[in-house]
Structure 1
Amino acid sequence: MPSDSTLYHKRLLVVDDHPVNVELLQDLLEDHGYRQVAGLTDPREVLAHCQAQVPDLLLLDIRMPHMDGYAVLEALQQAFAMEAPPTIVLTAQVDDDTRRQALAMGVRDFLTKPFDHEEVLARIHNALRDQSHYQWRRDQAAMLERLVAQRTRELERLSCTDPVTNLPNRRGLTATLGEWQRDGVVVGALFIVLQGIDAIMRYHGHRMTEVLLSEMARRLKAALPDQGVVGIWGSHELLLIQPRASMAELEHLATRVRGELKRPLATSGVRLQIDGRIGVAGGVSLEPERLVHMAALAVPHAREGVAIQVHSPALEASEQRRMQLRQALPQAVQRGETSLHYQAKVALASGRTCGAEVLVRWTHPALGRVSPAEFIPMAEASGDILALGAWVLEAALATLSRWRREGLVDEAFSLAVNVSAHQLCRPGFVAEVHEALARYDVPPSALEVEVTESAVMTDLEVATLQLQQLADLGVSIAIDDFGTGHSSLAYLRRMPVDTIKIDRSFLTHLLDDAQSHRLVESVVAMAHGLDCRVVAEGIEAPAQAASLAAMGCEMGQGFWFARPQPVESFLPLLEEYR
């Protein structure tokens, strides 16, 4: 906070058509220590003077020839808008009309002629002090905004980059593919499965493996044509994406890439060598996941004796199954093929089950169990997610109501229900939730709505309004898969978020990579800074749970605690953890 001593170095401008008044105020102020007091007797010169150097305080007469004080104020407001200098009016008449008009134009105070010297000094000191404090707070806020923006950019960069190789990770690659797809660019993909990494890690350790991966990253980047991108897709998988390439060019590139993979690396007296199998696919306007899926399908099995294979119509058999599922999906609920599974959410500090996430499952009569990763995107694309989501909400609340009546869960137990962008942005959704809660006599605090970042960004304004209305009911709001979508403090600050769920991808290298550990710590600290609880998804080891608890992460879920369970298997688990 600035001290009062700095006020005497502020720039003051006195404007009065009577030179004697200007000299009087200049002498008074300079006698009391003010170092920069300028004066003007012609109001027409004020704008140019301020444009050359904006004063920290303007002492302005109202009644002047050529331009009165109101005209001067209007000119300054047009030129500077919110940056116009604060103003104290000098006037011999402080009638109600003058006061109201001046205040409406943003005037801070009034000095009545003839001047009382002590009053003049006090009012000027107060105005300068208030303006100085306001400017200081404004500067602090701007600095904080810059720091937040810088940190957000860094988090975004880290979330898109593999910490070992500095290559794009799955999220970064998907984002690039999405941009090319939206631009209508022909894109090719090489899905590369590395062979021999496990043996190197087993016999030479993680450090040597990281040296090898970093060198492979350098080689492959050097071998890429213009605009090509190579990145890490999985622990043993690379993805190379190349725009504007023919299938023949992609096959030639795959041969070059395999040659680079097979070239031995000598380091620390050790000769390391790996190999790879490569699937090739390409097309235009393909969804990123579709293109990657095509390339992954084309990766030859090790027993086939070939290293490179191009996606072909024969591989489209899987798409026939997809079509069959798409046709069956709209009637799946009515036919009783869907069911709910529950995955426990555990308080990391106590190990107590404090809630569960509701997950929908589908068992097709002919094709058997269908992965949610397969049918949820289908439902979202077709609009069937609305009916499916409504059924999930009804069934979950009916179950929770029964558990509460039978004393199987306590008052603090809550169920989290995933809500898609289609549901969240649909008019009437909040009313449906409210009615369902009332119908099953479930308090709003026992329900948590989980939405992904991408769902919120589908229509940020509508989503924020709907979430606020849910929060007003007492329903908790959670951001799911945080860090995999539009991670931004700007939108988080606008929404009534209670919980941030850290995506499982952030936990992959939590224990073996310091940068990943710091990234998760930063997310936890950021969430707490927004007064949000934190749930970590995908906990698969006790050491992960302990590390997260030490960071202050409140809750976790994952296979270490329990897999998603049908209701009959979940209740014994509840009793065990209670």
Structure 2
Amino acid sequence: MNYQQLEQYKTDILIIDDMVDNLRVLSSILSRAGYNVRKALDWQMAWTACQTLLPDLILLDIMMPEIDGYEVCQRFKAWDLTANIPIIFISALDDVFDKVKAFKIGAVDYISKPFELEEVLVRVQNQITLRTAQLEIITLNSQLEQRVKQRTWELETTLQKLQREISVRQSLQSKLLDLALHDSLTGLPNRVLFIKRLEKALIRTQQEANYHFAVLCLDCDRFKVVNDSLGHLVGDELLIVIARRLESCLTSFDTIARLGGDEFGIILDKLTDVCQAIQVAESILQKLSLPFKLSRYEVFMNVSIGINWGGQNYDKPEHLLRDTDTAMYHAKALGKGRYHVFAPKMYQEAIELLEMENDLRKAIEREEFIIYYQPIISINTGKISGFEALLRWQHPTHGLVYPTNFIPVAEETGLINPINMWVLQSACQQLQIWQNHSTASQTLTMSVNLSAGLFYQPNFIAQIDNILCDTQVNPASLEIEITESVIMKNTDEIKIILQQLKDRKIKLIMDDFGTGYSSLSYLHMFPFDALKIDQSFVKLMQENKENMGLVPAMIGIATSMGMTAIAEGVETPEQLAQLKNLNCHFAQGYLFSQAISQKLVLELMQSSPQW
């Protein structure tokens, strides 16, 4: 083919994509640009098209059924007639390793979806230009013997053009790799590059006995509040400023990366002991405690820091980073704005928590929970007035597990909601049975503790109604105990829910009164029927007989507000006598009975105890 034929020849482009819409859009773009465009939905159609007419350029999608783009590319490169046809991948896969793989198997370029029209045209034109140049070289070589002198200058020009194209391609590949390994917002290394550098540091510790390093994980405290209140643009600006401050705390040997969101990772290089890492953490906390003066706002922010000594006990960087994260979450749990150094027992605790969560899920399915009942005594009559339902877990291997050992995990994972509703359902069913028994009073009450999270469930009241309907228990006999944490957030919303419970004649008890955020204003706002005095105050009452602590005041508050007072943890006759003299209404504790099974409850009621 001579130069005149090349000029008259209309460039042929073959597009291979299983998405009809993509074929239509690309075909339209390239046809308007003056190219002859053919389309194929799969490998077989593409093969047939190439046998009919060899294209000048192939645009190839990666994600296709049966035979993906990588395999199609390899088949074309293995066929002599198509081996030199340039192939450009067009794909939604944007990971650097997908791109590297594409280049390794012979692609000349890579366009990420969704693509820009101008970008497609420029990249196609670049490759067509390169292809044309290659054809020119072939033509020149075939005529070299006859026209060496005439074509020497043209050959040199063409080679220069090729070199420029190669340089552009190499520069583009370098930029793509840099973008894939760095955070676009802060310019810091990202998690992928951070893990690679961690891996190098671990390898070095195995090769050099005197080499040591430390890893820090930092998570911004209350960053979500800034994002939600001031907007994501302000949040992004804050992250950039935080990154610059963190860099100022480090040396040129250290590595800092943005691991994602508001979390950063630091590798402190060439240390002698963990104390140096602690000093850096303290310096970071001090610098970040200063206000951040942004373009429109002044913001205060601090971080929780996990510290881990990068020793030879780790084979994988992911495990080292995992344990550093664990230390960081311990710092958050201890009050935020501080650091915590990882200890091996933390990992074991994390594993135990995960096992506990798995066991709890199985326990719900297998109905391993049981309820014990502790009697509540009327101080005036000395008789049983009701019971408090107390949850126990009959673990298949650990035996009887008390709620203090598993309720925190249940609350954190959200499993507390189905557990709570099961307790309420079971307790109401049991109360209905006891009230119909000849030895029990019709006025017998049942007290049930409910977790704070349950009150924020949208179907909470509907669930209560279903239980009352199913068990046919008298709502006036049901007492729901609520800790003060329930009423500390969304007070208007909680007030409505509590009033709906009151409308159903259900009694409301403030549990552990005096141990949390007790405020008389809260008592006035919410329709409580009783206050439960924590056992710690009852114990102090006996130890300090002169003024008996706060118990008299608590009973006085309850009486003045038309509520009853219930004392927990009564263990001695002296405590009972003191409570009686103070006109306390009800009491429970080991003096009367510990929590017992439902079978023993009947025996206890049949004995008609009197205190």
Tell me the TM-score range normalised by the shorter chain. Answer: 0.3 to 0.5
State the TM-score, normalizing by the size of structure 2. Answer: 0.44
State the TM-score, normalizing by the size of structure 1. Answer: 0.47
Select the structure with the greater relative contact order (CA < 8 A; seq sep ≥ 6): 1
- Answer with 1 or 2: which has the greater Rg: 2
